[in-house]
Structure 1
Amino acid sequence: KVAYGILVQLRLEEMLQGNQLAAAARQQLHSFYTEIGLPQTLDDLGLGNITLAELRQAAEVACRENSDIHHLPFPVTPEQLMAAMVSTTTPVGDSQIKNIPSLGELGELRELG
């Protein structure tokens, strides 16, 4: 869980701040995590069938007022957190939120799967 959480945080830094160091670190961690078998996606955590509503609920809990997520040096909304959670394996260079599937598209993908 911690390994995946690190990827999510790096993805947030990459998406919200355009942080290329975070992007490079995420790419390096992908290789390392693959070598030692650490989780990199929701599916790897056994959450491949999570619904959009469940993901939103988790993101809202994580973004509550007293949450540790507010120790990050930038604000994070539940929608931004959801986008980061589903894009931990996005190739480096796709760092803008515009490249992340919309929540509607995520719902459509869930319905197709």
Structure 2
Amino acid sequence: MIAIARACRQSGAVTYSGGTSTIAAFSLARACLDTLLTEGESALQDVNQGITSSAVKHIVEANIYLSSIGFESGGLAAAHAIHNGLTLHEGCRNVLHGEKVAFATIVQLVLEKASDEEIAQIIDFYKRIGLPVTLKELGITSSEIDKLMVVAEASCSQDSPMKNLPFEGQPMDVLEAILVTDKREQ
């Protein structure tokens, strides 16, 4: 998504292909987000009805091609670092990778102090297509701070993509952003 590519571009992060984020990667991230926002909801409805529409084909292209090339040439940041931390919480062990990254993308936007408009746009989209926007929707029904702190600390480990933010992400900041994200939609 564009927030991840933007963070890597601003920080000068080294990508998985060994260079720094490219103009093309940023453009692919923008195209991926635009495709998801404009066609995601109708594609989901079509899939649920067993219809292979152009919207479905575009979403498949966005999810497989645009996001893959974008990640290799653009990099990963806080959203994937937080996903990695969430895998340690027993409440969301059965939650899909994309669902954890979706929630963590909102957390990254909060960490970056993105505009309320940008955050609201993503949350509204997630709600329409059924992606999690709260800890409870991730399967975390208890907001025990010590367990969430484990998530935050793991998110900021030495080799974590958290280092690709244009500022230093600290565990307390991540914990606070997780709690703020969760409270936005309660």
Same fold (TM over 0.5): yes
Identical-residue share of aligned pairs (%): 35
The aligned counterpart of 2:104 is: 5
Q: 1:72 is matched with which residue: 165, 168, 175?
A: 165
Matched, 1:30 2:129: no
Q: What is the CA distance between 1:75 and its match in structure 2?
A: 0.7
Q: Which has the higher contact order (CA 8 A, sep 6+)?
A: 1
Contact map agreement 2:103 2:133 (CA 8 A) in 1:
yes
The aligned counterpart of 1:57 is: 150
Q: TM-score, structure 2 length as denominator?
A: 0.43
Contact map agreement 1:41 1:86 (CA 8 A) in 2:
no
Which segments of 5 or more consecutive residues in structure 2 lack a partner in the other structure? 1-99
Distance 1:52 1:43 in 2: 14
Matched, 1:86 2:185: no
Q: TM-score, structure 1 length as denominator?
A: 0.69
Distance 2:132 2:111 in 1: 17
Shift of the 90–46 alpha-carbon distance from structure 1 to 2, 3 Å rule, reads closer
User: Which has the higher mean CA deviation after the structures are superposed, 44-53 or 77-86?
Assistant: 44-53
1:91-111: CA deviation from partner (whole Å, max 9, x where unpaired): 6xxxxxxxxxxxxxxxxxxxx
The aligned counterpart of 2:30 is: none
Contact map agreement 2:133 2:181 (CA 8 A) in 1:
yes
1:18-73: CA deviation from partner (whole Å, max 9, x where unpaired): x43xx321110111111111101111100121411111111111111111111111
Which segments of 5 or more consecutive residues in structure 1 lack a partner in the other structure? 92-113
User: Larger Rg: 1 or 2?
Assistant: 2
Contact map agreement 2:110 2:181 (CA 8 A) in 1:
yes
Distance 1:58 1:77 in 2: 12
Q: SS state of the match for residue 65, structure 1?
A: coil
Distance 2:181 2:161 in 1: 20
